Amino acid sequence: MKLLLPTSTAGSLPKPSWLAEPEKIWSPWALEGEQLLEAKRDALRVSLQEQQHAGIDIVSDGEQTRQHFVTTFIEHLDGVDFEKRETVKIRNRYDASVPSVVAAVSRPKSVFVDDAKFLRQQTDQPIKWALPGPMTMIDTLYDGHYKSREKLAWEFAKILNQEAKELEAAGVDIIQFDEPAFNVFFDDVNDWGIATLERAIEGLKCETAVHICYGYGIKANTDWKKTLGSEWREYEKAFPKLQQSKIDIISLECQNSRVPMDLIELIRGKKVMVGAIDVATNTIETAEEVADTLRKALQFVDADKLYPATNCGMAPLSRQVARGKLAALSAGAQIVRQELTA
Ligand SMILES: [Zn+2]
C-alpha cells in the first residue's frame, strides 16, 4: 500500500432498516428467500458507497450479508446442530444460548466467496474481508463432540484456511480474523491460539490481519470494561508472541480506551490498525480527536505501518452516526498525513 495512513473499518457497518432491524446485533432479517438475497447485495453496494463517500481507503462489505460475525460462518458448516442449543458463557462475560458441535466439523462449500467476488466486481480499491478466528469460534459454541477446546480450534483453523484461500483467489487483498477471545483466554492464546491462527493463514500470499478488541458497544461489554481497572493491559499478554507470528497486521482498540498506548511497542515491526473511532458511543469524534490518537500511536508504530481504523464493528450504531464516524476517521487521517509529508 503506497498511500500513507490508509483508512479502513474493523468490519461491520449498520444495516439498512429494510434489510434487518437496526441498531442491534443478531438482528432478524426483514425479508426472506430471493428478496433477501437481492436485498443483501443491494445493502452491500450501499455500504460500499458510504465508505467510498467518506473517503475510506481499504473497503469492505460492511458485513451486510451476515447476521453475526461468528454464527453466520458456523451456520454453513457440517457437524454443528443449530437446533440443539446449550447455554454457555461467552468470553467469560455473558450467558448465551449457542449451537452444539455434534460430529466432526467440515465446510461442505464456501461461505462468503460469492459475496467477496461481488464486492470485487464493484470496486478497484483494496478490499478487506473478515472471518472469525478459531478461538472466538469455539467460544461461541457448545462442544459435545471433540470435548477439547484446542482440538476444535485446530479443526476450525483448517476450515478457515480453505475459506481464506478461496477469498484470496476471489481478489481479497487483506483477510482479517476477528479474535476478541484473545483478550480473555491468555494462557490458551499463547499455548495454541496464535498457532491455530497461523494454521488458518498457511500458504496465503495476500495480507493477513488479526482484530483484537474489547467488543461491540453493547451493555455486557461496557459493564465488563468497568471491571478492568484504570489501565487495560490485556494486549500485553498476547503481543510478544504475536510479534513473532506470521500475521502481517494487528487491529486494535485505542480510541477512548484505557489501553496504554506504549503497549504497541511490543509489536514493533508489524503493521497496526489503530482504532481511532470509539464504537461504544454515539458521539462522533472530531477530526482533531482522531488525529490526536494517531499522533500518539505514531510514537510506537512507524508511519508506513500505521493504518487508521475503528475500534470494532459499527453494526449496532445508527447509520447516521456511523457515516459521521467514517468521515471523521478519514478527515483525522488526512490531518496527520499532511503533517507527515509537510
Ligand atoms: Zn471488535
Query: What are the pLDDT tens digits along the chain (342 aa)?
Result: 679 999 999 989 999 999 999 888 888 999 999 999 999 999 999 999 999 999 999 999 999 999 988 999 999 999 999 999 999 888 888 888 899 999 999 999 999 999 999 999 999 999 999 999 999 999 999 999 999 999 999 999 999 999 999 999 999 999 999 999 999 999 999 999 999 999 999 999 999 999 999 888 888 888 888 899 999 999 999 999 999 999 999 999 999 989 999 999 999 999 999 999 999 999 999 999 999 999 999 999 999 999 999 999 999 999 999 999 999 999 999 999 999 998
Between the CA of 267 and the centroid of ligand 1 the distance, in Å, is 19
**Cross-strand pairs, 132:** 178
CA distance linking residue 41 with residue 62, whole number of Å: 11
Between the CA of 37 and the centroid of ligand 1 the distance, in Å, is 26
**CA torsion sign, 152 to 81 to 166 to 305?**
negative
**CA 116 centroid distance within chain:** 16
Q: How many CB atoms lie within 10 A of CB 169?
A: 12
Between the CA of 209 and the centroid of ligand 1 the distance, in Å, is 12
Between the CA of 12 and the centroid of ligand 1 the distance, in Å, is 9
Alpha helices in 55-148 (DSSP H): 71-75, 113-122, 134-138
pLDDT at 144: 94
Between the CA of 275 and the centroid of ligand 1 the distance, in Å, is 10
pLDDT at 25: 82
Between the CA of 216 and the centroid of ligand 1 the distance, in Å, is 6
Between the CA of 210 and the centroid of ligand 1 the distance, in Å, is 10
pLDDT at 281: 94
Q: How far is CA 237 from CA 28, 188, 232, in A?
A: 36, 11, 11
CA distance linking residue 311 with residue 10, whole number of Å: 7
Report CA dihedral (265, 269, 275, 276) to the nearest 10 degrees.
80
Between the CA of 225 and the centroid of ligand 1 the distance, in Å, is 14
CA distance linking residue 93 with residue 76, whole number of Å: 26
**Cross-strand pairs, 59:** 127
Between the CA of 342 and the centroid of ligand 1 the distance, in Å, is 33
Between the CA of 141 and the centroid of ligand 1 the distance, in Å, is 18
Residue 215 Ramachandran class (φ > 0 left, ψ -120 to 50 alpha, else beta): left
Contacts of 283 (CB under 8 A, 6+ apart): none
pLDDT at 44: 98
Taking the model in full, what pTM does it have? 0.96
Between the CA of 43 and the centroid of ligand 1 the distance, in Å, is 21
- In the block, residue with C-alpha cell 468470553: 91
**CA 138 centroid distance within chain:** 16
Between the CA of 313 and the centroid of ligand 1 the distance, in Å, is 6
pLDDT at 300: 97
CA distance linking residue 73 with residue 68, whole number of Å: 8
pLDDT at 1: 60
Burial class (CB in 10 A: 0-12, 13-18, 19+), 196: buried
Between the CA of 341 and the centroid of ligand 1 the distance, in Å, is 31
